[in-house]
Chains A and B, each alone.
Chain A
């Protein structure tokens, strides 16, 4: 398999995001539709069922740097959330703690990241953690 360069990879992800991801549990798109570098993205995660996140929609911002996807993107919660892998003051997902960022692989996408975060919110250890008021932001 040849290595798809950053920009063409991001264009593929953009097109997939525009079509909508299967089960609608996550979404993402360019933050600025004029940004030819395709660096900043907005995403949403629908809170997983049977958890304190149920029916909530969490906004995140994603930054794909010049070395994406060889290096993981930076991702930050805009909506307040209480999960151990998320910095409680900045909303940043800690790359040293969250496995998908820590053990990043080139084949991973923004979709992988959002779906894995959603799973993380639903683990037995995390799903009943008390959550901030709905709609609060970092």
Chain B
């Protein structure tokens, strides 16, 4: 395998030595650009008490190109689709090489705290959210308990 750019090594080291509260990111041994990630649901959000598994990959052109990030745990959220794909500006048009793995994961965590049904990826979820916010939040809580509860967190891989 081609050698790993210094920037990625530095970022990885810092993720381990100085982790972000509520977030873990560990590279796979056989592919150091491929990370197994967990994000704790933010307090006072419908995802509270949940731990969500994600995967993150740094493409060849990183940091000129944004990391690729996907949820592996099922989640009911207007900006995350059934396959775990995330609609988030910093992963697309607003990516900048000044951002990092750490800042991207913080943005994902912030997205959990403030769902944005007006810029949906999962249209049916967004519709629910706009029509009946209370009901949608209840469903999101139920899904968190069913699929992301801390006690039965075993990696999906």
Give residues of chain A (24-39) contacting chain B, Cβ–Cβ below 8 Å: 33-36, 38
User: With contacts A3-B1, A36-B74 known, is A11 near B60, CB below 8 A?
Assistant: no
Chain A residue at smallest Cβ distance from B69: A8
Report the separation of the CA atoms of residues A7 and B83 in the bound assembly, to the nearest whole angstrom. 10
B1-A36 in contact (CB<8A): no
Chain A contacts for B28, CB-based, 8 A = 5
Tell me the smallest distance from the CB of A117 to a CB of chain B, in Å: 26
Tell me the smallest distance from the CB of A62 to a CB of chain B, in Å: 17
Interface size on B, residues (CB 8 A): 20
B55-A7 in contact (CB<8A): yes
Tell me the smallest distance from the CB of B50 to a CB of chain A, in Å: 16
B55-A34 in contact (CB<8A): no
Interface string of B127-157 (1 = CB under 8 A from A): 0000000000000000000000000000010
Report the separation of the CA atoms of residues A35 and B156 in the bound assembly, to the nearest whole angstrom. 13
Chain A residue at smallest Cβ distance from B34: A5
A36-B83 in contact (CB<8A): yes
Report the separation of the CA atoms of residues A33 and B85 in the bound assembly, to the nearest whole angstrom. 12
A2-B85 in contact (CB<8A): no
Interface size on A, residues (CB 8 A): 14
How many contacts A-B (CB < 8 Å)? Answer: 42
A2-B82 in contact (CB<8A): no
A33-B33 in contact (CB<8A): no
Tell me the smallest distance from the CB of A119 to a CB of chain B, in Å: 30
Chain B contacts for A34, CB-based, 8 A = 82
Residue A1 interfacial (CB < 8 Å): yes
Chain A contacts for B74, CB-based, 8 A = 36
Interface string of A73-88 (1 = CB under 8 A from B): 0000000000000000
Residue A4 interfacial (CB < 8 Å): yes
B84-A8 in contact (CB<8A): no
CB within 8 Å of A: which residues of B?
A: 1-2, 28, 31, 33-34, 55, 57-60, 68, 70, 72, 74, 82-85, 156
Q: What would 16 A/B residue contacts be, using CB atoms closer than 8 Å?
A: A2-B1, A2-B2, A2-B60, A3-B31, A3-B34, A4-B57, A5-B31, A5-B34, A8-B57, A8-B68, A11-B68, A11-B70, A14-B83, A33-B83, A36-B74, A36-B83
CB within 8 Å of B: which residues of A?
A: 1-5, 7-8, 11, 14, 33-36, 38
